[in-house]
């Protein structure tokens, strides 16, 4: 199977797992160890300012009060995952996902964002989604997900509630018109 890195996973309407129903997940890593992604359309009750306060990170006053932290998935909910425009080599603990999109898990980026020295476009999530080798491929065979190539504009320029619809639209699909019953031809 071809790599799923830099793909969006769109939950099909019949996917009832509460961790993934109605989600759009961006795949950041795909290799012999499995798959890692970040759900990008589930805002949490946390703001970035609240996260900074909890982690005791000094930040510029008022800058981050409205920036939402996302529920990135059911795995490692105590860890931060930062999707951002730019290059991985600019930050510790980073991987390059696609040209101009990286994933960082290091505190250096959080400190930089707090002081307005971080990337201009970023999305902070607590937790991630992960699948062991072969697990996601099996779910794809069972029609649990649709995939489409990831787009920075959907990740960073659209509000959370529009991301799933926009990703599906890039395939010419309206998920609201799809049946909850799946079949195999």
Domain boundaries, the chain: 7-177
pLDDT at 2: 75
pLDDT at 136: 93
pLDDT digits (tens, 9 = 90+) for 134-176: 999 999 999 999 999 999 999 999 999 999 999 999 988 887 7
Structure token pair of residue 181: 């019953």
Structure token pair of residue 64: 């981050």
Neighbouring CB atoms inside 10 A of 81's CB total: 23
Which of 3.40.190.10, 3.20.190.10, 3.20.20.140, 3.40.1740.10 is the CATH number of 7-177? Answer: 3.40.1740.10
DSSP 8-state assignment for residue 182: -
d(CA 99, CA 77): 27
Neighbouring CB atoms inside 10 A of 65's CB total: 11
d(CA 132, CA 138): 11
Strands 145-149 and 101-104: unpaired
């Amino acid at each position: 199977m071809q790599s799923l890195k830099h793909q969006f996973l769109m939950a099909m309407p019949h996917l009832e797992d509460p961790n993934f129903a109605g989600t759009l997940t961006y795949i950041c890593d795909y290799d012999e160890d499995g798959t890692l992604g970040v759900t990008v359309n589930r805002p949490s009750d946390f703001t970035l300012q609240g996260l900074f306060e909890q982690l005791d990170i000094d930040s510029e006053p008022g800058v981050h009060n409205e920036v939402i932290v996302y529920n990135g998935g059911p795995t490692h909910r105590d860890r931060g995952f930062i999707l951002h425009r730019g290059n991985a080599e600019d930050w510790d603990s980073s991987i390059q996902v696609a040209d101009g999109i990286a994933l960082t898990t290091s505190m250096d980026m959080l400190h930089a964002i707090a002081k307005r020295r971080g990337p201009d476009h970023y999305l902070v999530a607590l937790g991630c989604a992960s699948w062991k080798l072969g697990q996601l491929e099996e779910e794809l065979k069972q029609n649990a997900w649709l995939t489409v190539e990831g787009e920075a504009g959907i990740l960073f320029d659209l509000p959370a509630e529009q991301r799933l619809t926009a990703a599906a639209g890039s395939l010419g699909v309206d998920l609201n018109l799809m049946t909850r019953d799946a079949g195999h031809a």
